[in-house]
A and B are shown apart, each in its own frame.
Chain A
Amino acid sequence: MSMIVSSIGQGLLWATLGVALFLTFRILDFPDMTVEGTFPLGAATAVMAISHGMGPLTASLLAFAAGAVTGLVTGLLYTKGKVPILLAGILVMTACLSINLRIMGGSSNVSLLGKTTLFSAPFLQSLPKYFDSVFVGLVVISVITVLLIVFLQTNLGQAFIVTGDNREMARSIGINTDNMTIMGLMVSNGIIGLGGALIAQNNGYADVSMGIGIIVIALASIIIGEVVFGELTLNQRLVAVTLGSILYQFVRLLVLQLGFNTNDMNLLSALILAICLMLPQFSKALHLNNVLKKGVARYDEN
Chain B
Amino acid sequence: MMKTSTPLLSLENIVTKVNTGTPNEVMILRHLNLNIYDGDFITVLGSNGAGKSTLFNTISGELPVADGSIKLRDQDITHLSVEKRTAFLARVFQDPKMGTAPRMTVAENLLLASQRGKRRTLRLRHLKQHMAHFKELTATMDNNGLADRLNTATENLSGGQRQALSFLMATEQRPDLLLLDEHTAALDPKTSEQLMQQTNQRVTQEKLTCLMITHHLDDALKYGNRLIVLDQGQIKFDVRDAEKAQLTKEQLLSFFDTIE
- Please state if B91 and A153 are interface contacts (CB–CB under 8 Å): no
- A-contact 0/1 string along B34-68, CB 8 Å cutoff: 00000000000000000000000000100000000
B103 within 8 A of A: yes
A158-B111, A161-B104 known; A174-B83 Cβ under 8 A: yes
B78-117 interface (Cβ within 8 A of A):
82-84, 86-87, 90-91, 93, 97-104, 108, 111-113, 115-117
Which of B104, B111, B169 has most chain A Cβ within 10 Å? B104
Min CB distance B61 to A, Å, is: 9
| Cα of A159 to Cα of B120 in the assembled complex, Å | 7
Min CB distance B97 to A, Å, is: 8
- Please state if A162 and B102 are interface contacts (CB–CB under 8 Å): no
- Please state if A158 and B108 are interface contacts (CB–CB under 8 Å): yes
- Please state if B125 and A162 are interface contacts (CB–CB under 8 Å): no
Min CB distance A33 to B, Å, is: 24
- Please state if A166 and B83 are interface contacts (CB–CB under 8 Å): no
Return chain B residues, CB-CB under 8 Å to A165.
101-104
- Please state if A168 and B98 are interface contacts (CB–CB under 8 Å): yes
Closest to A177 in B: B83
- Please state if A162 and B115 are interface contacts (CB–CB under 8 Å): no
| Cα of A166 to Cα of B155 in the assembled complex, Å | 11
| Cα of A170 to Cα of B101 in the assembled complex, Å | 8
Return chain A residues, CB-CB under 8 Å to B91.
172
| Cα of A174 to Cα of B93 in the assembled complex, Å | 15
B124 within 8 A of A: yes
B106-136 interface (Cβ within 8 A of A):
108, 111-113, 115-118, 120-125
- Please state if B115 and A155 are interface contacts (CB–CB under 8 Å): yes
B169-202 interface (Cβ within 8 A of A):
169
- Please state if B122 and A166 are interface contacts (CB–CB under 8 Å): no
- Please state if B123 and A155 are interface contacts (CB–CB under 8 Å): yes
A158-B108, A169-B98, A169-B99 known; A174-B117 Cβ under 8 A: yes
Chief secondary structure at chain A's binding surface: helix
Return chain A residues, CB-CB under 8 Å to B87.
174
- Please state if A162 and B83 are interface contacts (CB–CB under 8 Å): no
| Cα of A155 to Cα of B112 in the assembled complex, Å | 8
Min CB distance A147 to B, Å, is: 11
A140 within 8 A of B: no
| Cα of A158 to Cα of B91 in the assembled complex, Å | 20
- Please state if B122 and A151 are interface contacts (CB–CB under 8 Å): yes
Return chain A residues, CB-CB under 8 Å to B97.
166
- B-contact 0/1 string along A175-219, CB 8 Å cutoff: 110000000000000000000000000000000000000000000
A154 within 8 A of B: yes
- Please state if B120 and A155 are interface contacts (CB–CB under 8 Å): yes
| Cα of A168 to Cα of B93 in the assembled complex, Å | 10
- Please state if A166 and B98 are interface contacts (CB–CB under 8 Å): yes
Min CB distance A278 to B, Å, is: 23
Closest to A154 in B: B122
Return chain A residues, CB-CB under 8 Å to B123.
154-155
Return chain B residues, CB-CB under 8 Å to A161.
101, 104
Min CB distance B99 to A, Å, is: 6
On A, residues with C-beta under 8 Å from B are 150-151, 153-159, 161-162, 165-166, 168-176
Chosen A-B contacts, 9 in total, with CB atoms closer than 8 Å, are A159-B112, A165-B102, A165-B104, A166-B100, A166-B102, A170-B101, A171-B83, A174-B86, A174-B117
On B, residues with C-beta under 8 Å from A are 60, 82-84, 86-87, 90-91, 93, 97-104, 108, 111-113, 115-118, 120-125, 169
Question: 13 new A-B pairs (CB below 8 Å) besides A155-B122, A156-B122, A174-B83?
Answer: A154-B121, A155-B115, A155-B120, A158-B125, A159-B112, A162-B112, A165-B103, A166-B97, A166-B101, A169-B98, A172-B82, A175-B83, A175-B120
